[in-house]
Every structure is written in structure tokens, then in C-alpha cells.
Structure 1
């Protein structure tokens, strides 16, 4: 079973990361999907997305859940029937799930040079402390994206902008943590964010 890593950020929260080594057929055979989920995965045009979707169901099983325990609200935010908080992510050959008593968000992204092309869409305040120097710039941009995506999932508010409403204070990659703010309309919220790197990927998770 390619469970890659399990993290216990606190007594109320668990993060599990899966390395997707299995074929689509093997993953499909090892999961039991409700009809709606089966229809959804069969409609996916990319096998990479299909494997990501199915690997998340494998991670649910690692937590003791089934696909039938998971549902989505009108904004696409996932929920568990037992009331626990959950957030889900997958990118290429990695997926991750965070489950907690607290509101959470998680994101995984592959570190790629193309992120420099879209940096202007999600970086504002952070531009002042970023050093545009090769691989370290790409790693920091990827971390900032993951932090803001995890906040977006946690906050779950239509209209929230990565660039306008999410702010990541200066950080060092080696510290594996930072502080971020969401400043949206009348709400101003501070979050402690943790992140990690592995095999050319970055994962960040936010806990309210």
C-alpha cells in the first residue's frame, strides 16, 4: 500500500499522503464507490485525474471511512457525515487528505517553472520579499500557492482572491512553516501554516 506519509500536527488533526503508484485498474478494484462517484470517475477524460480521485478514496479507507461517508456542498467543499472536517488534494502522482475536529485546508502542487508565468495572478505583497533566483524562486512560489490554496479551501467563501485577500508573511523553506492572513471584507483571520517538500512537490495545510 503506497501510503507515503502520515503527519500528526496536533491531537485533533491527521494528514495522510499517498503516492499513486498503482494503475487505474488496480485502484478501481481496491475501492468501493457509490453510484454518483462511479459516474464521476468514468466521465473523467484523464487517467491521471481518475487515479487521483481513486487514490483519495484509498486514503479515506486509511482513516476508516468509505466513499459513502464523503459528500460535497453547493460550493464543492467536501464534508464527512460524522461531522469531522476534511480537505482533499491531488497533483500528478501524489494525493493527500487532512481530517480534523477543526476547520482545515490542504494543497499539493508539483514544483514547475510554469508557475512563474502565473505568479502575477496570486502574488502581491509577497513580491516585496521574493528573490527571483532560479529553483529557490520556484520553490517559494509553489509554497505560496499551496498556502493560499489551503486557505481558500479552509475559508470556503465565494469571491475570495488569492492575490487580494490572502497574504503570506516572509518565510524560509527550511522552517517548514509560516503565518498567513485572510483579509476579506469584515473578516481578518490569522493562520499558522505548515508545509513540506518531497520528490519535487510541495504540500501545505492550514488549520483554523
Structure 2
């Protein structure tokens, strides 16, 4: 299946999501990968990761880019040669790309019970409005993780911690959006964020 979803956030920002149903060969065949990308994909042990990597290149094509237009900095953050901002994610059978004139971040996560086990590692302030008895506890935890992951990708600063430096303002799943803050090295940054759910997955992104 080609494009699964396209979301026009504003005139400068678009999110595109791919549902990965194709085989490795079907995804690989039409692409013209640069040598570093070829090395990376051939070195991946999991075919699921390979297909995720290749589907992102197809999403680039949907934006009018090729693999040659994408490069990574020393922190592993992706950039586009034309100066636009990009963030990339893939999880199991979905991948996503956000492109904007401004700094952005995106994350897709599968909704899984096991997130409850690691919640104490990334949730602090949010326990003020989250209860483990809530029916939507797992889904809201997944949103919080996705938002913090998106912010981390946007900043790409080693030393930032989800639990200590990021906080997500109270929200309900039906809201589809909330505000998040980064409090880091005596500076505070405010971000609008959005999220959506589909087929047992959550996608969260920072809205410029």
C-alpha cells in the first residue's frame, strides 16, 4: 500500500504516513539509494527495519525528494539539502515523515501494555493527571512517550532526559492536541503538539 495518510498541518508543514505492506524487494526495486544508505539497509539484521528504512525513502518521494536530498548530522538528526526541516519515524508496519519550514519532530509507537512497565522512566509531572486505573491509561502513556520522543528528535541534544526535562500538559485522547514544555539548562521552551491513533498505533508530532 502506498501512502496511508497525509495531514496538512499548515501551509509550511505536512505529515505523511506509510503503511508498510510491501515486501523488501518491492520497496527496494524502484529506489536509487546513495552508497551510505545502501550500506545501512544491507547491514540491518531485521527485515522489518529494512522495510521501515525503505518506506521512509518512498515517503521522501511523496514530498518530491530523493534519498540524495537527505543527510544526517553528528547527532543522527536528519536534514534536507534545501534547508527545510524534517523528522522521521518508523514502528513495525508504519512509518512517518514530517517536513516543515520550521523545526519539527515526529514519532509513531505501537500501543502496548509493556509501556506501563517503563512509565516511571519517562513520566513525572504527568502522574498528577494520569491514573493506572483509567481505561485509556496505556493509550495516554503512549501519547506522552510519542510527544517527548518528538521533542527529543527536534532538539537532538545529548543529555536531555524525558522524565526531568520534558513535561506534557493534561489532555484527553479526544483532544488530539496538547501543549508540552522543555525545561533545560535554565531555559523554558513551549510547544504545541498533536497526536492521532490508528490501527493500534499512535502518531505524535510537534506543531510549528
Answer yes or no: is the 8 Å Cα contact 2:9–2:207 preserved in 1. Answer: no
Distance 1:14 1:121 in 2: 31
- What's the offset of the Cα at 1:155? 1.4
Moved over 6 A (4+): none
User: Is 1:80 aligned to residue 80 of structure 2?
Assistant: yes
**How many residues are paired up?**
208
In the other structure, the counterpart of 1:184 is 184
Q: Give unpaired runs (5+ residues) of structure 2.
A: none
When normalised by structure 2's length, the TM-score is 0.98
In the other structure, the counterpart of 1:121 is 121
In the other structure, the counterpart of 1:164 is 164
3-state SS of 1:104 partner: coil
Distance 2:8 2:42 in 1: 34
Distance 2:170 2:92 in 1: 28
In the other structure, the counterpart of 1:41 is 41
When normalised by structure 1's length, the TM-score is 0.98
Distance 2:104 2:156 in 1: 10
Q: Give unpaired runs (5+ residues) of structure 1.
A: none
Answer yes or no: is the 8 Å Cα contact 1:102–1:207 preserved in 2. Answer: no
- What's the offset of the Cα at 1:138? 0.5
In the other structure, the counterpart of 1:138 is 138
Two-structure CA RMSD over aligned residues (Å): 0.9
User: Is 1:50 aligned to residue 50 of structure 2?
Assistant: yes
Answer yes or no: is the 8 Å Cα contact 2:124–2:164 preserved in 1. Answer: yes
Distance 1:97 1:30 in 2: 19
What pairs with 1:88-127 in structure 2 (closer than 5 Å)?
88-127=88-127
